Amino acid sequence: MKRYSAFAVAREAARFHMGWERAWASPEPKPKYDVIIIGAGGHGLATAYYLGKNFGITNVAVLEKGWLGGGNTGRNTTIIRSNYLQDPSAAIYEKARSLYETMSQDLNYNVMFSPRGVIMLAQTEHEVRGYKRTAHANALQGVTTEFITPARVKEIVPIINLDGPRYPVLGGLWQARGGTARHDAVAWGYARACSDMGMHIIQKCEVTGVRSEGGKVVGVTTSKGDIDCNKLGMVVAGNAGHVADMAGFRLPVESVALQALVSEPIKPCMDCVVMANTVHGYMSQSDKGEMVIGGGTDGFNNYTQRGSFHHIEETVRALVETFPMVARLKMLRQWGGIVDVTGDRSPIIGTTPVEGIFINCGWGTGGFKAIPGSGWGFAELMAKGYSPLTDAFGLNRFYEGRFIDESVAAGVAH
């Protein structure tokens, strides 16, 4: 595949952009692959990419029931940070954050990673204590974060109101190298690189059954027929419970809708990401100028990929307190995605009761930031049977009571 470069852009401009190749192929499925990944979201595609890049496994198919990146990967508010509390989480999220730093060069695809900084506001004494504790833990883990004063918060975000009617800003947890990336581009960049390695990304191919013999996986049944494989990776986020059910085991996850909305574009007014978890809303400004606003999850399990009026009201109320100028903005769009939430708010990455089937799910409200680290570790697990990055996240932690409690870092909107 031809490389993207400034020279290529100039050359194509001169010939009316008629010479660009398709970014990825759309093949029909083969009868058998070494590895099948179900789900062409960021995590599935990243897994396929690192299987090829790090382990030379390229006889891989990624099966997607809709279009690639059309799940949560294309619906999220793109916040990237690694300021988690527990060591296994900090390791995988920081690995991911550091891979984001070089992703555009690595994939030869501009994913628009913007390390503009992320502040998590502390608006209660409890949050102050929680975030100070996280900052200390991060120092020990080698993750650069700091607890900052309200005055410093105001310096970084001049449009903020420190004296909210309900909760004043008492400080914040600041990660200067956190930020955002273009969500679609992450999926497209991985897809292009996978296709370039000869892997098959098969869209509109729904997995409807999982076939196993003698406790070992042999393949899947899909809307395009049966396809065999030696190993199967399930990476389907909010659909994890359904797909695991097809293979005959249950997962400790609940699926709920998480919502977001976006305003009309305005002039640059905020050059970092702000999360206000107590009043519950978070906001950043996209490159087009829109204010990208994240809300909460529905209070009941469901599979509706759409927004609802009560969330608009709740989220906008929180943001108007924090940023009074939001009151004068018109909102353009609202949407939802189905996220898969575990009890300890940490993902499940590991083997399953069926030999040859591996599961990667439970990223809940905050898995975009983890995509490259998760793909890196999951590929290692699938290729070698063990990965230090994913070891603590196995399903057995729920039987053994080894929870990785991230309710402070991830229990809110994301």
38 is a site residue for ligand FAD (CB under 6 A): yes
From CA 159, how far away is CA 253, in angstroms rounded? 38
From CA 42, how far away is CA 166, in angstroms rounded? 38
**Kind and range of the H or E run holding 230:** strand 225-234
Q: Interface mask (CB under 6 A) for ligand FAD, residues 149-188, using x and -? A: ----------------------------------------
39 is a site residue for ligand FAD (CB under 6 A): yes
210 is a site residue for ligand FAD (CB under 6 A): no
CB of 130 to ligand FAD, least distance (A): 19
Three-state secondary structure call for residue 409? helix
CB of 220 to ligand FAD, least distance (A): 8
The one-character DSSP state at 325 is G
CB of 246 to ligand FAD, least distance (A): 8
Name the burial class of residue 34, with classes exposed (0-12), middle (13-18) and buried (19+) by CB atoms within 10 angstroms of its CB: middle
**Separation in Å, CA 249 to CA 133, 206, 238, 253:** 37, 19, 16, 12
CB of 229 to ligand FAD, least distance (A): 14
Q: How many residues bind ligand FAD (CB under 6 A)?
A: 40
Beta bridge partners of 341: 254
Show contacts with ligand FAD in window 336-395 (CB under 6 A): 337, 339, 363, 365-369
Contact pick of 34, 106, 196, 206 for ligand FAD (by CB under 6 A):
206
Give residue 284's region: left, alpha or beta (phi > 0; psi -120 to 50).
beta
Tell me whether residue 177 or residue 369 sits nearer to ligand FAD (CB atom): 369
Cα 347 vs. chain centroid, distance in angstroms?
11
Q: Interface mask (CB under 6 A) for ligand FAD, residues 59-98, using x and -? A: ----xxxx---xxxx-xxxxx-------------------
Three-state secondary structure call for residue 224? coil
Q: Which amino acid is at 228?
A: D
CB 405 within 8 A of CB 398: no
Q: Which stretch binds ligand FAD (CB under 6 A): 193-201, 230-238, 380-388, 402-410?
A: 230-238
Q: Which residues bind ligand FAD (CB under 6 A)?
A: 38-44, 63-66, 70-73, 75-79, 206-207, 235-237, 239, 243, 258-260, 294, 337, 339, 363, 365-369, 414
